[in-house]
Structure 1
Amino acid sequence: MTKSKQWQAGRRIDTQASSDEVLQTQKFNRQSARLEDEQASFSTEDINVLSRQANDEQIESSFEASSSHFGWRHILLFSLMVLIPIEMAMAIYTAFQQSIILAGIYTLCVVSALGWGGQFLIKEVLALRTLKNLEIRREQASRLLSSNQIGEAQSWLEPIFKKLPKGTVDEFQASLKSHYTDKEVLQLYEQSVLKTQDDAARAIISEYATTSALMVALSPMAITDMLAVLWRGVSLIEKLSKHYGVELGYRSRIKLYKLLAKQIVFVGATELLSDLAATSLGAELLGKLSARSAQGLSAGVFTARLGYKAMEICRPIPRLENKANFLTTFAKKLTNQLLKQN
């Protein structure tokens, strides 16, 4: 074989190798494009929902693990439940041997204590049932907001209408159409009846948060600041729960506080960044505030955020919009008020 033929043969081999590389590159590009399309099908909202569900499962499992643990506290409670009735029975028996009047006083005290304890337990059971029913109804509302069926939303709204004024209910019923789906009925309820309640709740949050900010700005002691924020926060939760018709007992309050802690501490890490961005007022405006006024501003924004979380939990429909706009407007209004105080 001559040199020219060898060169042509080598040229054919190189051309064939390069064509194979082109085919492999095209195949790789098609696979990459398909993977990108699959990844693009997951929106940011889907990813956020998955992360929230993962956080909820992790938190609920931690609560269940802590509640199922049997320790010294449960032994102490069981011992007290056994010893207290025995001690009361022995005290009444001894009193009967000494004096009928003394025995009557002891009996009256025991009966009064049992009556008060029974009333307290009944109230707690009813309050826990109310909070549990609220959670179930919120899950049903989430399902109905994506339903195209007709008729189920009306039965879902009946318990709510029993607590509303008759004029409000009649006005809402008059605006309904027979062809509205469950999703459209709930959207109409949220945009009309529930919007009025939400506006009143936002006014309550603004009032309590402003009071907390002013108390912290005017208080000279750190312990007073902490007590003021705690007091206003607890009072705010109580008022918002009553505003939405959620009666709270001792255990239901603890459960609601746990839900708030879960929302703020665990799930609220990413939301805190958005809240800070929403309430950022600029260095020029913040520079006009004194140190105490700046602390008051932070306490007021925290109280507003706490109230907004309580509002999300207590309202019958879980979805709540325009949070960033509310926090931004409130922060600017509160800053102007603190500047006047300076």
Structure 2
Amino acid sequence: MKQDSQLKFYAIDEPVDTVEDETADMNADAAKTIAVSTQRKDSNKLRKLALVTIVAVLIGVLTETVLGIYSAFQASFWLGSLWLVISVMLCLTLFGFFIREWWLLRKLKQRWRMQSQFDEQSHIRALQRPDLEQQWQQQRQSHWTDTEVTTRFEQDILAKVDQTAVRRIRKWSLEAAALVAISPSSLADMLLLLWRNQRMISELSQLYGVKLGYWSRIKLWRHILTNLAYAGVSELIVDMGSQWLSTELVARLSARAAQGVGAGLLTARLGLQTIRLVRPLPYVHTQKPSLLSMQKLLVKDLAKQFPTMFKTKPDHAPSQNSHSL
């Protein structure tokens, strides 16, 4: 009886771990989806709240304006007419301003969409350069393939605009380095850099046929700073190069010159990032300018303009005439 009452256990191979892993992955994906949907809902709620607030403020202002004009007409016809004309002109000005800002912001977003796909006619018109458009029409051949068209357009047309843009960045970088090197105040340095970098970004955008308004300028600045922040340490080291870290270059610079070179490199980096954002096509068939080359040119130009800011190396080796004496 004891032998019959014994229990026997059999091992059954079941993929328990695999099921648990798959369940964990599904739970993780579901958690991510819920988090993203929650963020979208929160952002939508904030947008709706902001929109409702703006509409309420506009309704209040409009109501107050109408009541004010009505009261002015009750007091005097000419006074009411004057306030009516002023209100209409102000409304037309604000309406034109918002329409212009919306149009310029739309053009900037359209430029970013153009970078993903090449269209010959739209890209040549986007530069707003009649001379380059005429040159392209003269050299364009009907037997070219799509790849050849893209390559020749980038090498023959966009390369000329890139060269002009790089020369302008070099000029702005040198001016920024010189201003910071001779400026006695750190606050003045920051204001000068902000002012001149803003002008440089507007000029570079116009070179590629992009006009900036208030909101489009803020949008472009936001993308520039975001791309610089996420560039990574490795890209920064590759761009700046080993010469910047060499003791020979540091030993040649004075304190003010080193600050000027740093400001010039910051200006150059902003300029190069601006080119990447407003360029109709990404760099594929042409070599993109690097910060290392801009650094060499900046130090060379700064040494020519301000030779006293560079330390002269002392000659430790005695001359033969001193030994003979």
TM-score normalized by the length of structure 2: 0.74
The 1:129/1:231 distance shift into structure 2, 3 A limit, reads same
Amino acid at match of 2:46: F
Task: Tell me which of 241, 244, 263 is aligned to 1:277.
Answer: 241
Kindly report which structure 2 residues correspond to 1:83-162, keeping only aligned pairs within 5 A, or say none.
83-141=60-118, 153-160=119-126
- CA shift digits 1:48-98 (9 cap, x unpaired): xxxxxxxxxxxx99x978854518765653432221111111111111111
CA deviations over 1:295-314 (Å, ceiling 9, x no partner)? 11100000000011001111
Which residue in 1 is equivalent to 2:298?
Answer: 331
Aligned to 1:164, which of 129, 139, 143?
129
Kept in 1, the 8 Å contact 2:172–2:267? The answer is yes
Counterpart in the other structure of 1:318: 282
CA–CA separation in structure 2 for the residues paired with 1:65 and 1:330: 50
Change (3 A) 1:64 1:249: farther
How much identity, in percent, do the aligned residues show? 31
Contact 2:183 2:189 in 1 (8 A): yes
Q: Contact 2:177–2:260 (CA<8 Å) still a contact in 1?
A: yes
Q: Distance in 2 between matches of 1:66 and 1:330?
A: 49
Q: CA 1:131–1:266 in 2, change beyond 3 Å: closer, same or farther? A: same
Structure (1 or 2) with the greater helix fraction: 1
Cα deviation digits, residues 226-269 of structure 1 (max 9, x gap): 00111111111111111111011122112111111221112354
Indicate the structure whose relative CO is greater, using CA pairs within 8 Å and at least 6 residues apart: 2
1:35 counterpart residue number: none
Give CA-to-partner distance per residue, 1:185-244, whole Å, 9 cap, x none: 111111111111111111111111111111111111110010011111111111111111
C-alpha change, 1:114 and 1:159, in structure 2 (3 Å) is: same
Aligned to 1:8: none
Q: Aligned partners of 2:227, 2:201: CA distance in 1, in Å?
A: 14
- 1:255 has 2:219 as partner: yes
CA distance in 2, matches of 1:204, 1:278: 25
**Alpha-carbon distance in 2 for matches of 1:98, 1:279:** 77
Query: Compared with structure 1, are the counterparts of its residues 113 and 216 closer, same or farther at alpha carbon in structure 2 (3 Å cutoff)?
Result: same
**TM-score (normalised: structure 1):** 0.71
Letter aligned with residue 330 of structure 1:
L
Residue 139 (structure 1) shift: 1.0
Could you list the runs of 5+ residues in structure 2 that have no partner in the other structure? Answer: 1-35, 310-325
SS of structure 1 residue aligned to 2:241: helix
Change (3 A) 1:135 1:220: same
The answer to whether the 8 Å contact 2:240/2:295 transfers is: no
